[in-house]
Each structure stands twice: as C-alpha cells, then as structure tokens.
Chains A and B, each alone.
Chain A
C-alpha cells in the first residue's frame, strides 16, 4: 500500500501472534504431546512387539516412531488452529483480528501456517526424542518433509473449519473425540493395514489420515502399504477441499461476522 502500511506485515503479524500464542505455553503445546508420544512408544512398543505384522526387516518400535510422530503432527496442527479460533470467539478477542484490514486469504494463511509450524515443531520433537531409543532410518527425507507439511496443512485447514464452526468447548471436543482421534488411531499408526482383515483394509483406504501416515512412513523406510504418489494425491485433494471450505467460511463471515 502507498500509505506506509503493508499487507504482508498484517498477515505476518497474525502468523507471528499465532506462533507466539502456542510458543508461550510450549510446555503444554509442545512438550506435553512429545511426552505423550514417548509414552505410547514405550507402552505399545513393549506390548505389541512381535504380535503385529509390519514391514519385512523393520523392528516394531522403529516402525512405530514415524506413525507416532505423524499422529502428533496431525493432532497438534488441528488443535492449534481450532483451539485458537474457538477460544478467541468464546472470549471475544477475535474482534482484534476482525477489525483490521486483513483479507480472508491472509486470515486463512496465517492460521494455517501457524498450525503447520506447531505440527512440525511437535513432530520434530517426537522424532528427536525417539532417536535416543531407536535407530531410525530415513530413506527419503524429502517425502518425510512433504508429508509432514502436507499432513499438518490438511489438519490445520480442518482445525480452521472446526474452530469457526464450534461455539463451545464441548462442540470442539466432540470434533476432536469423534473425528480426529478415530481417524488417527485407525490410520495404521500402530500397525500395517496389511495385518487387517480385507474389510478393514478397504475401510482404511477410505481414511485420508491413513495416506498421511503411510506416506510419511514411506519417507523413513522406503516401504509403505500404498504408493506414496497415491497418498500425495489424496492428501493434496483433502487439503484442497478443506482449504476451499475454510476460505469460503472466512469469506462469508460464517459465525464470525454476523
């Protein structure tokens, strides 16, 4: 703009605010999910070792690490966008971002990138903590990065939708407990879907989170339950649909501008 102000600054400030919001309470938003993932690793790694069919030549605990890291990435990306928006709506301080001249695209992008950032920080934390306990190969680092970013972006966009739609904590909790948790737990985090009966294998292929976990895991082991390219297409399509939905909600002002 020609009056000494900058659109980029507005967008960047909103992103930075969202970054600060979770970073200031990083014990709760970063450290706690890393610890939870490590507990899963400890308990499931010990309890299910040798009982679950996984990839040839891959130790079960090692197999578990990318899935747990990705699950943490996805859950935290979703939580960041959804809880920030819902809390701002509940406390009324959403008005501070509705009054400035921010477009719906800037609004969307800032919340999305903050969600991706938290997802990746937590995911990196889980991986960093896990490598002290397991020898983790990284066959295709680019795939790891691509699925880490794409998965957290999908869940960030879903978090924006959930945060805008939810008026109360229990609505958001329902979103988390009845959609996010089942999708992530039934996505092959703890097992390869090859070990499932045919019906559940088919059902797993209808779960977009399965493709995020599977593609991410391919980046580490060079092996997966399905092609990483197919996973990328499905994750990309999920991202496109959810992004269009959240942009439409923001543009129309659904539950934000009356």
Chain B
C-alpha cells in the first residue's frame, strides 16, 4: 500500500531564504502524525507543497502515491487541508460554502455527508447563516468542515485550534479522532504540544527547514528526558545536587532533571547523607513540551 504521505528530499527556497532544506518523511495510512516546530520552521511550507499551494524547488511529494504536481488531481482528491489563516467567503452561508466546496471536488448530491459534518462540528444552528456573521470559533469550524467535505483519506490540520475555545477544541478532537479510527490519516501541526502528545502516534520536529527529530511520541518522551523529581526539603539542597536543578520555584519547591529513574535513588542517598529531610516528593514524566525545548536547543 502506498504511504499516505511521502516526501522525498523536498527543498524550498524563497530568494535567499531556505525554507525547507531537504525534508524526507513518510506517513503511513491511518496514522495520527504530528508536525511540530517553532514559527518559521517550515511546517506550513511543507503542508503548502503537499496541498499544491506552493511548488517545491526540488524533491518529490506524493499523497497516497499521487505526485502532487504530475498527478495533482489524484493528490488533491485524496487530501483535505484546514488552512492556518481564518479565511472565509463573505458572499455565502455555511451550507452554501460547503456545497460549493464539495462541487469543486466534482461531488454532486453530497448533502447527507455535508449534514453529518455540520452536525458533528456543532454547526447545525448556523448552517443558513452568512459566513460574515459567524464568530472566529465558528469560522474555524467551517474551515474544518470545508476540508472534510469531500471525505479525503488524508487530512492535514494546520494549527486548527489556534485561538479557539475549549468547547470547540474538544468537539473537534472528538470528531478528528473518530475520523482517524475510521481509517483517515491525520497530520497535525500545533503549538499546543499537549495536544500533539495526547493525539499523535508519531511526531516530526522541524527547525529551520530540517527535520531534527522523527519518532514515535513515546520514544521521544523516553529517549530525551529521563524524568523530573520535584522536592520540598526541610533544609538546603546538598551542593552535589546543584547541577541537577532544573527550576527553583518561588514557593520553595525544587525541580531536579534526572537522566533516568535509577538516579532517583542516588538523589535520595545524597539527601540522607546530608541529613536533609524530604517533606514532599513527586516523580514526573517529562512532557512533549520539555522534549521539544530540549531538542530545539540541541539542534
């Protein structure tokens, strides 16, 4: 079976700016894949190349085996993109916008699926309202609906929850998770790394147009950070533990970054030898945000 997304050594240059410097990755059908990186890392450029909005300077990109340039019809039929910008056509109602978008993909008599999308994104009471009259969150829902209107097997969401309320975020993820369970491949870019950690089975991290990490989310969490121990002590932290301090909080709690769980015992031994009492202690897993920061600092 063809990969849902296949990117081979893709570069993109805007004048003197190298936006993508040789990206290669493959996303398998049915995956929930995260594309993370700071602003300007090249995430949106990569998505734009997949969507045919931008042309790669070199390299190949395919959606379910369809080359995005040579076989653009096949590639675009297979792909649904939720763009990052909150754009809308002010001339139409929600239902008109969805019917028109459906028609662009060559679909007539698509009302049943349009109704289902409207229902699932809680747009039913706004279906006949002009796009101009919708709130930002509602417009965002319509953007998602427009990307799904032709039932694409591969769905790319470029920061879909930027600036939206918790209710929409939860409704959106419920629906996207259901689509993923039904076999749709999902590619997500987001600055909310807790979302990526909770949703994505695999993650690629980009920096300055290069992939600096690409692995399963649990492997990234395991490989890069060890663990954290948060302590509240009855005395001063022994000097030999000072290099481990990641954070000193105003309330007196100290967070130590440890390379692995075995180090916890050595911390406890050092505290015992120094006669410092432990009042509170919590061992914490690193989260994707901490992994992300570490990787970006090293890259």
Report which A residues bind B (CB closer than 8 A): 1, 3-10, 12-14, 16-17, 20-21, 24-25, 88, 91-93, 95-103, 253, 257-258
Contact = CB atoms under 8 A, between A and B. Distances in A.
B54 A101 contact: no
B41 to A, nearest CB: 17
A13 B52 contact: no
Given A13-B103, A16-B103, A99 B52 contact: yes
Given A9-B106, A16-B103, A96 B77 contact: no
Nearest to A97: B104
Given A6-B106, A9-B107, A258 B55 contact: yes
A10 to B, nearest CB: 5
A20 B91 contact: yes
A44 to B, nearest CB: 34
Contacts of B96: 20
B89 A101 contact: no
Contact of B100 (A17, A257, A258): A17
B76 A101 contact: yes
A84 B87 CA distance: 15
Contacts of B100: 13, 16-17, 96
A258 B91 contact: no
Given A16-B103, A99-B51, A258-B53, A5 B87 contact: no
Given A100-B76, A257-B52, A257-B53, A5 B104 contact: no
B51 A5 contact: no
A100 B55 contact: no
A96 to B, nearest CB: 6
B60 to A, nearest CB: 17
Given A17-B100, A257-B53, A258-B55, 8 more contacts: A1-B73, A9-B108, A17-B103, A93-B88, A96-B104, A101-B72, A101-B73, A101-B77
Contacts of B85: 92, 95
Interface core residue of B52, B87, B100, B104 (most chain A CB under 10 Å): B104
Of the four ranges (under 10, 10 to 19, 20 to 34, 35 or more), the interface on chain B belongs to: 35 or more
A67 B91 CA distance: 32
Contact of A21 (B54, B55, B91, B104): B91
Contacts of A95: 53, 83, 85, 87
Interface string B101-131: 1011111100000000000000000000000
B108 A6 contact: yes
B92 A20 contact: yes
B24 interface: no
Nearest to A95: B83
Contacts of B92: 20
Given A93-B87, A99-B76, A101-B77, A257 B105 contact: no
A103 B89 CA distance: 21
B104 A102 contact: yes
B146 interface: yes
B87 A257 contact: no
B89 A93 contact: yes
6 contacts: A1-B106, A6-B108, A96-B87, A99-B52, A99-B79, A100-B150
Nearest to B72: A101
Pairs of residues from A and B, 6 with the lowest C-beta to C-beta distance, nearest first: A13-B103, A5-B106, A100-B104, A92-B87, A101-B73, A101-B76
B106 A253 contact: no
A257 B76 CA distance: 14
A23 B97 CA distance: 16
Interface core residue of A5, A12, A91, A102 (most chain B CB under 10 Å): A5
Contact of B91 (A10, A12, A14, A24): A24
A16 B96 CA distance: 11
A16 B104 CA distance: 10
A164 to B, nearest CB: 15
Nearest to B96: A20
Contacts of B89: 88, 91, 93, 96
Contacts of A9: 103, 106-108
B55 A10 contact: no
A253 B48 CA distance: 13
Contacts of A258: 14, 48, 53-55
A9 B106 CA distance: 5
A83 to B, nearest CB: 12
Interface in B55-73: 55, 72-73
Contacts of A99: 51-53, 76, 79, 81
